Structure 1
Amino acid sequence: MNNHEIDFKLYGDDMQFVEVELDPNETVVAEAGALMMMEDGIVMETIFGDGSKSGGAGIMGKLMGAGKRIITGESLFMTTFTNQGTGKRHVSFASPYPGKIIPMDLSMLGGKIICQKDAFLAAAKGVSIGVEFQRKLGTGFFGGEGFIMQKLEGDGMAFVHAGGTLHRKNLQKGEVLRVDTGCLVAMTPDVDYNIEMVSGVKTALFGGEGLFFATLRGPGSVWIQSMPFSRLASRVFAAAPQNPAGKSQGEGSIAGGLFDLLGGK
């Protein structure tokens, strides 16, 4: 294997974290802010780019790796965790919002996975986190996840997180699956991905599902999430009390409402 070979264990159900077991001198790479805890003997270091050698050696290779991350909206830097002790050590990473962590063995998935740009959590050292440009302009303009998606390449383990409940569906050749654009988490590169407009004016305007959906055509595997973060955030925002700036209702909404009813300011 070209990538570091790491062992792992998942904990939890809807608020999961992944514990990675590192042998001496093994390294795992993670997004900034993903760390939950680590044992003594593990050294943390911030690196420029994704730490892989896919961009070539030297400063130009590092700049290319970092440039890929800028295009996908991620930070220039990533964090590596290396076991510099004499025995096995453990480091854990947590999802940024409720959902599932998907362990993906890239060696069993053709060496490449395409995922939405904010889905990557961590991976074995050597996995390349790059850019996948969608070929069709309709996908870019209306795909929900943008024209650019991430691609994870290598032969090691990678961990991707999704919101809500996760479902993997294996599509046969020619089989078509239509999903909400935000619900697509990842897919194998042989899946044909396109965007279609919802038919019917009334359905598009009043159906509550948006104007476009993703059309996935097999063969290949796709991973679907039941609760995209954008949907969760919009519901929370819609339910949040809209108070004028500087106005406080205290801890209880009932008391605050009574305060307003009595003419309080």
Structure 2
Amino acid sequence: MNNHEIDYKLHGDDMQFVEVELDPHETVIAEAGSLMMMDDSIKMETIFGDGSSSQQSGLMGKLLGAGKRVITGESLFMTTFTNEGTGKSHVSFASPYPGKIIPMDLSELDGKLICQKDAFLAAAKGVTVGIEFQKKVGAGFFGGEGFIMQKLEGDGLAFVHAGGTIHKRELTAGESIRVDTGCLVAMTGNIDYNIEYVGGVKTALFGGEGLFFATLRGPGTVWVQSLPFSRLASRIFAAAPERGGSKGEGSIAGGLFDILGGDRNR
């Protein structure tokens, strides 16, 4: 094992957080801003990149690791949490929006997991957080979630978060499914991934499902989310009063004021 072996416990249902138990000198890495709480004996330190062993070769190695994170739209820095006490200590991380936290044991996934660029939450120290370039032009230009996805490599535990309900789908060799690009959370490294046009002008313009979907072909494992954050945010934005949304969706009076153009705050 190159990664620190950590224990964990998930709390909650739709607004989850993960509590990680660290033995003395064990370390977990996490995205900046994901900390919920920690014990007194935990030391927090900000580092360049993901702090993996591959970045300890000098300044250029650290700059390369940090540069990869910038390309994926993440911060230059990550945070490490190390137990400097003599007994077990705990540190907890919370997901940034409603959904689920998925524990991923990379040793059971052939040491590699590809996920959306904002899905990574935390991992045992030693897990490398890099970038995965899509080899196909279609996936690159029309992926909806960007040309680049995150790549988690190692043999330890990593925690990925996603919105709504998470569905795990095992694909056999040659089996394929089509997924809304925003609903794709993660997939194992052996999945063949491409983006395809939905077909038909009427469907593209009025279907309400976007112009492209992801085609995933096995063998491998795919994780799909029921509520992408982008979809949730767009609905909230559209419903805002200044964007034309209703000021009183739950009442007849609210609808009447909307029709008459009245302002109930006067």
Q: Please classify the TM superposition score into its range, dividing by the shorter chain length.
A: over 0.9
Structure 2 match to 1:20? 20
Counterparts of 1:114 and 1:262, CA distance in 2: 49
Counterparts of 1:264 and 1:86, CA distance in 2: 59
Secondary structure in structure 1 of the residue aligned to 2:202: helix
Counterparts of 1:262 and 1:119, CA distance in 2: 41
Structure 2 match to 1:235? 235
- Structure 2 counterparts to residues 150-165 of structure 1, below 5 A: 150-165=150-165
- Which range moved further: 19-28 or 197-206? 197-206
Secondary structure in structure 1 of the residue aligned to 2:242: coil
Deviation at 1:55, TM superposition (A): 3.8
Structure 2 match to 1:176? 176
Deviation at 1:54, TM superposition (A): 2.2
Residues 53 and 61 in structure 1, CA contact (< 8 A), matched pair in contact too: no
Q: CA RMSD in A?
A: 2.3
1:261 equivalent to 2:262? Answer: yes
The 4+ residue runs of structure 1 with deviation greater than 4 A are: 252-255, 257-260, 262-265
Unaligned runs of at least 5 residues, structure 2: 245-250
Letter aligned with residue 208 of structure 2: G
- Structure 2 counterparts to residues 1-265 of structure 1, below 5 A: 1-55=1-55, 57-242=57-242, 254=254, 257=257, 261=262
Deviation at 1:137, TM superposition (A): 1.2
Structure 1 match to 2:247? none
Letter aligned with residue 152 of structure 1: L
Structure 2 length normalisation: TM-score?
A: 0.92
Deviation at 1:95, TM superposition (A): 0.3
Unaligned runs of at least 5 residues, structure 1: 245-251
Counterparts of 2:104 and 2:264, CA distance in 1: 58
Secondary structure in structure 2 of the residue aligned to 1:132: strand
Residues 41 and 85 in structure 2, CA contact (< 8 A), matched pair in contact too: yes
Structure 1 length normalisation: TM-score?
A: 0.93
Counterparts of 1:210 and 1:53, CA distance in 2: 41
Deviation at 1:185, TM superposition (A): 0.3
Counterparts of 1:264 and 1:226, CA distance in 2: 37
Letter aligned with residue 90 of structure 1: H
Query: Structure 1 residues 243, 22: CA separation in 2 closer, same or farther (over 3 Å shift)?
Result: same
Query: Structure 1 residues 211, 83: CA separation in 2 closer, same or farther (over 3 Å shift)?
Result: same
